[in-house]
Amino acid sequence: MTTEHPSMAGRAVDPWGDRDWSTYYAAVGGKPARDTLLTALAAAGPGDGRSAIDLGAGEGRDTRELLARGFRVLALDPHPAAQELLARGLTTEQAGRLVVVRAGAEDLASVLAEHPEFAAPVIVNASFSLPFVRPERFVSAWRGIRGALAGGGGIFSGQLFGHLDTWASNPTRTHHRPEQVDELLQGLTIIQLVVDEKDGHDAEGTPKHWHVYHVVARAERE
């Protein structure tokens, strides 16, 4: 099932404006699920038909892992190309457990209002997607994530970019200082928090300095 959130009306094909996401999807296609998601899955146990959310699902590497583990998955991504990519290679049974919505992470709360069957997810995954939420929309995105986690005592897995990252100079992207990360994670039980700072390359081979917080954390059930 695939739908489009009303917020996408009139939004540019490339919602971030300065990155060729089709090239990125081609570069990372076929790679395994992110380590942070695998850590969350180890803590969560088998899917057994329980629900999970994948924000910024992209080409589907993490969505496919969640489906393979038996979860029902709500996958959000603002790029229209992601909808086709997410459906590739799925069995009929897996496709029946997947709902794809063209929407950004900041739309999560309103998407869940339309899909209440996902309102208490075991996992909310956001692999390298939250830094691409515009700063003026990040509060809405994080509020939606925390609200979803609280509904079922769920686990968050994903990344935040630090203020020393090369891309921190881009005003359309969201980066955080250490004290801001601490504030965002307040009230969550930390399963894994790794700060990775190094010189390297992005997925397309462009040199950059990485400053990344890899996070896996569990909420208390309300």
Distance CA 213, CA 192 (A): 10
β-strand partners of 54: 75, 125
Q: How far is CA 23 from CA 19, 102, 142, 212, in A?
A: 9, 19, 27, 22
CATH number for 126: 3.40.50.150
DSSP codes, 140-164: HHHHHHHHHHHHHT-EEEEEEEETT
The amino acid sitting at 91 is T
Instruction: From 55, 109, 60, select the one nearest 83 (Cα to Cα).
Output: 60
Distance CA 30, CA 11 (A): 28
Distance CA 222, CA 81 (A): 36
pLDDT score for 135: 97
Q: How far is CA 2 from CA 5, 9, 39, 82, 99, in A?
A: 10, 15, 28, 11, 6
At 118-150, the pLDDT tens digits run 999 999 999 999 999 999 999 999 999 999 999
Domain count, the chain: 1
Domain span at 22: 2-218
Question: What does the pLDDT profile of the chain (222 residues) look like in tens digits?
Answer: 667 767 665 555 444 455 666 677 766 677 899 999 999 999 999 999 999 999 999 989 999 999 999 999 999 999 887 778 899 899 999 999 999 999 999 999 999 999 999 999 999 999 999 999 999 999 999 999 999 999 889 999 999 999 999 999 999 999 999 999 999 999 999 999 999 999 999 888 899 999 999 999 999 876
Cβ atoms of 212 and 159 closer than 8 Å: yes
Instruction: From 70, 77, 27, select the one nearest 51 (Cα to Cα).
Output: 70
Distance CA 165, CA 159 (A): 13
Take residue 127 and report the two structure tokens written for it: 């692999």
Alpha helices in the chain (DSSP H): 21-28, 35-44, 61-68, 80-87, 92-95, 108-114, 135-152, 178-184
